[in-house]
A and B are shown apart, each in its own frame.
Chain A
Amino acid sequence: MILDAHDLACRRGGRTVFRHVGFRLAAGEALVVTGDNGAGKSSLIAVVAGLLAPDAGRVSLEGGGGRPLDELIGLVGHRDGLKAQLTAAENLVFARELLGASARPVAEALASVGMSHAADMAVAILSAGQRRRVALARLLACDRPIWLMDEPGAALDAASLRMLAAMMSNHLAAGGIILAATHQPLGLEGARTLRLERPAGAAEPDDPFLEEDWDGELGWPLDAGPAERHADGSRPRTDDPA
């Protein structure tokens, strides 16, 4: 089983998010995608998942055993995909019917992420980190060998992060594929890294955080209106050495 992304490009809202992005992942391999906010990590996950049409390029699968790509993908997006009114166990039972059940029963999947105690609790009353763990348990409970994870470590405590690293290593050892977008180190040994950079000209000119010499303070008063900007769109900067 090989997941092949060839020369992908993505445009959102008329703006190029990324282009010329490609990778090739065989069974047992992981790719960690890093990059600044807005570099297109989540967009890349969405494109590979088939939720977003790429502007160019293609994602293909070799040797899926007769199953198409979208029936092999397990997704943990930046939204957990859990119904707040249902219990953790009910959410997983539904996911198994929707996505296909793995050999691991729901109770065992919840136990693997340390959420056995919350099986009969409504997701609405769980904390952000606990919800994240239930969403991760969904990957274990469903028969989906290609894991696409968008910030899988978000809201997780140190112990849960170690659990996540172990869970991902086990999945790779079992011949799975992982594509994870993250800011924090995931502790995944042997994973390749893909750093997304914003294409030149794609950056937003008004984004103060893009100043290369940004020192943590805004270069102009926060209440500065359009009138206080130069006609060419640049901002007046009192501390500009030039």
Chain B
Amino acid sequence: MLRAAAAIVGRDLKLAARGGGGGGLGLLFFLMIVTLVPFAIGPDLALLARIGPAILWLAAVLATLIGLDRLFQADEEDGSLDQMRLAGTPLELIVVAKVVAHWLTTGLPLALAAPLFGLLLALTPEAMAAVTVTLLVGTPALTCVGAVGAGLTAGIRRGGLLLAIIVVPLMVPTLIFGVSATNAALGGPVPFLTPFLVLVALSLLALVAGSVGAAAALRGL
């Protein structure tokens, strides 16, 4: 059972490396948004540094949407999903395997690239560290929530926009606590752990609810 899940993770990582996935694309999109913001706001370094963590989180939410529409659709189209459903492994576990592989190729690079992109927003080293840690913990929630939308739109051609409309509202709590945990780490009335633990809880909750929800959506295809 776990062997099948491990096989799916390995295969998806291989597919992403062969240029079939959207990992690199998401990272470029992330960079694009972060680059545009200083142009729009102007060279006010103090302002950029203050809103930088929020910009990075916002960019991460949007970049997560890139490639999410293909999460199950690609497997649906070529019949791979039917093969996976015959693996004798619960569909929920297959969804978790797909989500893990997707996060490793999109969410993780986003979090790791955040300090570098923080330079463009004049972030202090502490802010860079805070954004990286919160993104590491929070992006799994974004991917898991997105998986439900990906499952619902797997049978729809050009379902990417519909997917965004479905999942972006559900990503709002993660965004709120991600940004507030980052700000709390940089000093503020709230201790860092309070919003951070809520963020952790959101990720765990999203993993369970997302896998059950996406599996239910895929069964109804």
Contacts and interface: CB of A to CB of B under 8 A. Distances in A.
The finding on whether chains A and B are genuine partners in a shared complex, rather than unrelated, reads yes
Interface of A: 49-51, 67-68, 70-71, 73-75, 77-86, 90, 94-95, 97-100
Given A49-B82, A86-B14, A95-B83, 15 more contacts: A70-B86, A70-B88, A73-B86, A75-B82, A77-B82, A79-B82, A81-B79, A81-B80, A81-B83, A83-B80, A84-B20, A86-B18, A97-B7, A98-B7, A98-B87
A49 B83 CA distance: 10
Interface of B: 3-4, 6-8, 10-11, 14-15, 18-20, 77-80, 82-88
B84 A85 contact: no
Contact of A98 (B4, B15, B18): B4
Contacts of A81: 78-80, 82-83
Nearest to B220: A53
B3 A51 contact: no
Contacts of A94: 7, 10-11
13 contacts: A49-B82, A50-B86, A70-B85, A70-B86, A70-B88, A71-B88, A74-B86, A81-B78, A82-B80, A83-B78, A97-B3, A99-B4, A99-B88
A78 B80 CA distance: 11
Main DSSP-derived SS at the A contact region: loop
B82 A85 contact: no
List the 9 shortest-distance A-B pairs measured between CB atoms, nearest first: A79-B79, A97-B7, A81-B79, A71-B88, A81-B83, A85-B18, A85-B20, A98-B87, A98-B4
Give the residue among B8, B79, B87 with the most A Cβ atoms within 10 A. Answer: B79
Nearest to A97: B7
Contacts of A100: 88
B93 to A, nearest CB: 12
Nearest to B20: A85
A75 B20 contact: no
Nearest to B77: A79
B100 to A, nearest CB: 16
Contacts of B82: 49, 51, 75, 77, 79, 81
Contacts of A78: 79
B70 to A, nearest CB: 12
